[in-house]
A and B are shown apart, each in its own frame.
Chain A
């Protein structure tokens, strides 16, 4: 196990190197240059040129890349072209908001997706199974942008049950400790703020959870069907064990491995920036920030944030791989 963990961890290095080249290359392929975006519509060509020189954009691309990577290895992800702020502290300030949202979405997805998958598998080919599968397909097909707006409209505007955006009400004073509002309000024992934070979290988390719910439900159903057809399940049933015990204790545990893989991938993609959800709900996370930075041609933020997200996704997948042995003792790492 130890040697596997080391080998698996080392594969991260070429992956991240490849990602850095791709990210740097793609960012520079975005049409338009940040010097023009920064200097504005009314800027003279001379002013734009001066900005270009200051940003080092007049250098050959390979020089720009090497200079950039030498800074990255020292923990410097650059300075925002538009605002002049260092990128890494800004990432660390914004990332907890995305983690909070993604965690809530995954909790909802697991809480709904696994039971739906189990029921669907146990009642295979029944009306309930068809209904749940249609529901899952609908969830995966609905554009998040539209769903988010509909949720905000119905629950925020029409019913006024929940807020339409942000993490807290306007003007709420909040001294961040961890930048996780839920955790910070518990640490501060500010129950009013905790309630406010949870209310603001519900709609974006539900919107973001629709696709993972569907994916997890479908994967759970497929895995459960495969496991439920095994001989040992038939043996357990023949021994007279209650149905719930057979399903939950004997079948589900073995069906979880592929589900775990899917959950790991889903967490990675959620952390990669729930761009649309964050934009619709004005959620101050990393996805929305990167989206706005792309529009503003802020290379430093797009590069730095993309690299950071890549590191996180790679780390999550590494943890997922290493967790397999915990879930299934039959797996041996050579």
Chain B
């Protein structure tokens, strides 16, 4: 009897418990995992970026759904005629969430933390295993290696940055999330633990991080820009794609990122959900190793380009979100060459080209430069990426197309970090690769691959004239002139069949129909202060 009473009370508590979805003043977003850190200078992952983009401002930012640059902490800027000296004029009166002024001195402090190995915070963080990868990549390294030679506060609201040489994508780089301006006082206070206590100037302030569960932010009432329309944001860590979609359909979250390809039609058919597509800022490629004699022959590369039915692959495996790629840059980039005529799917032509190249019996075996022969192995990536959502199946389709024209490749893969290592060491003869852009500038796509010649990670592709075009394009101040050079570079890549370009893919985000105002940006720089819940 007593037990029954206890059970009844417990059941009543459960049923009457104040539960249910969060009130409309809280925007709940389902992320694909746990953030690494909220110190935006040290992170590379999109999950952390999603949160830090709400807490920090950068000096400039990407406009709306484009990669055009507009003002953020810097309301205007000038550049010298030689492109080496940038003067940034900051908004006046902006404060960090801890009340400290966000002035030129704070901006200079931030630059120095990123740039100088001897900066106390840089040094401490390095010893604790934290690095500054984006600064290293975008500004060529630290200290004297960096393209930056001087950063100074001209007056309380003016910062001057001096470069070794002109860097055309300088502003596009500054708009990357990793260059969010942090409160020097907070960084000094928390040291290596700062990543758990972020302080910026953004539309949302950090409240708490429940590890392995969620991060809670609240609106910043003193924000200098467009104030948030919701009072709170909760970013929940929901690892599994199906579980995340279930949470959205159950009304427990208002939006998610990361969807199984098969669920796209489920979402489209649901009248309560809205599919938002992030414009494609990625490209899937197939790379050739130029230490393989067969791939040194352009006719063979052309044959491969004609042999693979990329349209059928995009239609079958990209859930309606893919586009056939005919060049390295995706169409959203201003350096894209719309005049390039793609290699059409033509197995007969592929076979003719192979015969012209002397491979009348097709290719099953390859010969390395050192004379070693081995069966042709086509390596596919072991992880999913937006540009390769089903890499194994896509690899199988490609291998089948190649086999039809007489190129017999064995499919193989290896654990992801080993795959990356093999790629960096130039060990794979034919392999899948890809790229997601960081800053919307064509330099970010093209230079990583083709500014260096004869390097292992690019399969030892050796095209100095192409490298020269790209290096010149990276220094010109005029976007129109730069665009022409990038278009020329794309034509060179196309004519030489340097790589096979497979697809670009839009990235799906899904929201409840009640959510309005979310703007998807190709770089992933997306801001919750524009979101409202009706």
Q: Are A199 and B14 in contact (CB under 8 A)?
A: yes
State the CA gap A202–B13 with chains docked (Å).
14
Fill in one digit per residue for A82-95: 1 if any B CB lies within 8 Å of its CB, else 0. 11100000100110
**Which of B28, B129, B247 is close to A84, meaning CB atoms less than 8 Å apart?**
B129
Neighbouring B residues of A14 by C-beta, 8 Å: none
Q: Which residues of chain A are within 8 angstroms of B92 by Cβ–Cβ distance?
A: none
CA–CA, A233 and B236, complex, Å: 57
Complex partner residue of A42 from B16, B130, B448, CB under 8 angstroms = B448
Identify B26's interface contact among A34, A45, A79, A171, CB under 8 A: A171
Within 8 A of B (CB), among A268-291: 279-282, 284, 288-289
Which of these, A40, A152, A198, contacts B246 with CB under 8 Å? Answer: A152
Q: Are B243 and A79 in contact (CB under 8 A)?
A: no
A170 to B256, CA, bound (A): 14
A contact residues around B14 at 8 Å (CB): 195, 198-199, 202
Residues facing B in A194-244 (CB within 8 A) are 194-196, 198-199, 202
The listed residue (A82, A171, A194) touching B216 by CB distance below 8 A is A171
How long is the Cα–Cα vector from A43 to B423 in the complex, in angstroms? Answer: 12
Expressed in whole angstroms, the Cα–Cα distance for A157 and B213 within the complex equals: 20
Contact A170 B26 (CB under 8 A): yes
Closest chain A CB from B243 CB (angstroms) = 5
B190 within 8 Å of A by Cβ?
A: no
- In the bound complex, residues from chain B placing their C-beta under 8 Å from that of A37 are 416-417
How distant is the Cα of A284 from the Cα of B238 in the complex, in angstroms?
10
Smallest CB gap from B214: residue in A: A170
B-contact 0/1 string along A17-48, CB 8 Å cutoff: 00000000000001111101101111101011
Q: Are the C-beta atoms of A279 and B240 separated by less than 8 Å?
A: yes
B137 touches A42 (CB 8 A): yes
Contact with A along B505-516 (1 / 0, CB 8 A): 000000000000
A82 to B36, CA, bound (A): 7
Alpha-carbon separation in the docked complex, A167 to B130 (Å): 31
Contact A194 B240, beta carbon cutoff 8 Å: no
The reply on B22 being an interface residue by CB < 8 A is: yes
Size bin of chain B's contact surface: 35 or more
Out of A157, A166, A167, A280, which one reaches B240, CB within 8 Å?
A280
Which residues 170-198 of A have a CB within 8 angstroms of B?
A: 170-171, 173-174, 191-192, 194-196, 198
- Smallest CB-CB separation from A83: which chain B residue? B36
Q: State whether A164 touches B420 (Cβ < 8 A).
A: no
A199 to B137, CA, bound (A): 48
Q: Are A292 and B33 also in contact (CB < 8 A) when A42-B137, A90-B211, A279-B240 are?
A: yes
Assess whether A164 is in contact with B243, with CB atoms less than 8 Å apart: yes
B10, B251, B415: residue with the most chain A Cβ atoms closer than 10 Å: B415
Provide the A238-270 mask, 1 if CB < 8 A to any CB of B, else 0.
Answer: 000000000000000000000000000000000
Q: How far, in whole Å, are A183 and B19 apart by their CA atoms in the complex?
A: 18
Chain A hits for B417, CB < 8 A: 31-34, 36-37, 297
Nearest CB of chain A from residue B476's CB, rounded to whole Å: 24
User: Would you call B252 and A164 a contact (CB within 8 A)?
Assistant: yes
Task: Report A142-178 CB contacts with B as 1/0, cut-off 8 Å.
Answer: 0000000100110011001001111101110110000
In contact, A165 and B247 (Cβ under 8 angstroms): yes
Name the interface residues of A77-111: CB closer than 8 Å to any CB of B. Answer: 79, 81-84, 90, 93-94
Asked whether any CB of chain B lies closer than 8 Å to the CB of A2, the reply is no
Residues of B within 8 A of A332 (CB): none
Collect the chain B residues with CB atoms within 8 Å of residue A194's CB.
Answer: 13, 17
Within 8 A of A (CB), among B315-331: none
| Chain B 114-134 interface 0/1 with A at a Cβ cutoff of 8 Å (1 = within) | 000000000000001111010
For window 16-40 of B, CB contacts with A under 8 Å fall at 16-22, 26, 28, 33-34, 36-37
Q: Is the CB of A84 within 8 A of B232?
A: no
In the complex, A202→B417 CA distance in Å?
A: 38
One digit per residue, 1 when the CB lies within 8 angstroms of any chain A CB and 0 when it does not, for chain B 194-233 equals 0000000000000010111110100000000000000010
The answer to whether A171 and B246 have CB atoms under 8 Å apart is: no
- B18 A195 Cβ-Cβ under 8 A: yes
Q: Is B237's beta carbon under 8 Å from chain A?
A: yes
Give the Cβ gap from A183 to chain B, nearest Cβ, in Å.
15
B26 contact set on A, CB distance < 8 A: 170-171
Measured between beta carbons, the chain A residues less than 8 angstroms from B237 are 282, 284
With contacts A149-B246, A164-B250, A191-B13 taken as known, whether A93 is within 8 angstroms of B18 at the C-beta atoms is no
For B37, the closest partner residue in chain A by CB is A83
Asked if A74 is at the interface of the complex by the 8 Å CB criterion, the answer is no
**Chain B minimum-CB-distance residue to A84:** B129
Nearest residue (CB) in B for A202 is B14
- Across the interface, A166 reaches (CB within 8 A) one of B129, B136, B236, namely B236
Q: Give the docked Cα–Cα distance between A31 and B416 (Å).
A: 8
Taken together as a complex, chains A and B put the C-alpha atoms of A2 and B251 apart, in Å, by: 57
Query: Shortest CB–CB separation between residue B199 and chain A, in angstroms?
Result: 19
**Contact call B214/A84, Cβ cutoff below 8 A:** no
From residue 51 to 82 of chain A, which have CB atoms closer than 8 A to chain B?
51, 54-55, 79, 81-82
Contact A167 B213, CB 8 Å, known A33-B417, A199-B19, A292-B34? yes
Given the contacts A36-B417, A42-B448, A195-B18, A157 and B249 also touching, CB distance less than 8 Å: yes
The answer on a CB contact under 8 Å between A160 and B250 is yes
The smallest C-beta distance from B260 to any residue of chain A, in angstroms, reads 12
Between A31, A51, A55, the greatest number of chain B beta carbons within 10 A of the residue's beta carbon is seen for A31
Contact between chains at A163 and B252 (CB < 8 Å): yes
A289 to B237, CA, bound (A): 12
User: Cβ of B21: which chain A residues have Cβ within 8 Å of it?
Assistant: 169-170
Taken together as a complex, chains A and B put the C-alpha atoms of A41 and B417 apart, in Å, by 8
Task: Confirm or deny: B242 has a beta carbon within 8 angstroms of a beta carbon on chain A.
Answer: yes
Q: Judging by beta carbons under 8 Å apart, are A32 and B415 in contact?
A: yes
Q: Mark B406-422, 1 if CB is under 8 A from A, else 0.
A: 00000000111110110
Cβ-defined partner of A31 (8 Å) among B36, B240, B414, B448:
B414
CA distance A43 to B239 in the complex (A): 25
Q: What is the minimal beta-carbon distance from A304 to any residue of chain B, in angstroms?
A: 15
Partner of A165, one of B19, B33, B243: B243
A residues in contact (CB < 8 Å) with B: 30-34, 36-37, 39-43, 45, 47-48, 51, 54-55, 79, 81-84, 90, 93-94, 149, 152-153, 156-157, 160, 163-167, 169-171, 173-174, 191-192, 194-196, 198-199, 202, 279-282, 284, 288-289, 292, 297
- A165-B243, A171-B26 are known; give 18 further A-B pairs, CB within 8 A: A30-B415, A32-B416, A32-B418, A32-B421, A42-B44, A43-B133, A51-B131, A82-B36, A93-B211, A156-B247, A163-B250, A164-B250, A169-B21, A170-B21, A173-B208, A196-B18, A202-B14, A297-B417
12 A-B contact pairs sorted by A residue (CB < 8 Å): A36-B420, A42-B133, A81-B129, A152-B250, A157-B249, A165-B238, A166-B213, A195-B13, A279-B243, A282-B213, A282-B236, A292-B239
Closest 10 CB pairs of A and B: A195-B17, A32-B417, A31-B415, A284-B212, A36-B417, A192-B18, A32-B415, A171-B234, A170-B234, A170-B28
